């Protein structure tokens, strides 16, 4: 997870998250989130009818976006995850996870990356 607050849930993906990531799933106005704060290797799938009903009952109606997946959270079995939101945006762009003085103009950095002077 890159960002998680009342207005946005942003998940990052990449082959090696040590230095950068190249894909973000941006859930705007998340209304239901059931997943661990740290996980890897998600396997996305269509939400089951029971999962859709569960979310609709909790929210009093059907949300615009419902995403379901199973993920490795460090246990012996995959964890079922479910996210409902008003909007989903898929962003493909390199986001650096460390400071670089020679970064190109407009280069995106993860929210926690700050220049050395800050």
How much is the pTM? Answer: 0.78
Tell me the average pLDDT of the chain: 86
Q: How many domains does the chain have?
A: 1
77-100 pLDDT, tens digit per residue, is 999 999 999 999 988 888 887 788
Flag whether 116 is in a domain: no
pLDDT band at 17 (very low <50, low <70, confident <90, very high): low
- Token code pair at residue 79: 């964890």
Flag whether 61 is in a domain: yes
Flag whether 43 is in a domain: yes
Flag whether 40 is in a domain: yes
DSSP annotation string for 56-81: HHHHTS--SEEEEEEEE-SSSSPEEE
The domain in which residue 69 lies consists of: 3-109
Flag whether 50 is in a domain: yes
Flag whether 117 is in a domain: no
42-72 pLDDT, tens digit per residue, is 899 999 999 999 999 999 998 999 999 999 9
């Amino acid at each position: 997870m890159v960002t998680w607050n009342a207005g946005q849930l942003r998940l990052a993906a990449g082959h090696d998250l040590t230095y950068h990531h190249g894909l973000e799933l941006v859930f705007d106005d998340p209304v239901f989130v059931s997943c661990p704060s740290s996980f890897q290797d998600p396997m996305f799938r269509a939400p089951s009818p029971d999962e859709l009903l569960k979310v609709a009952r909790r929210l009093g109606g059907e949300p615009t976006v419902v995403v379901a997946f199973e993920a490795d959270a460090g246990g012996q079995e995959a964890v079922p995850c479910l996210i409902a939101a008003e909007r989903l945006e898929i962003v493909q762009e390199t986001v650096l996870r460390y400071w670089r003085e020679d970064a190109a103009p407009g280069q995106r950095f993860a929210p926690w990356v700050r220049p050395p002077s800050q």
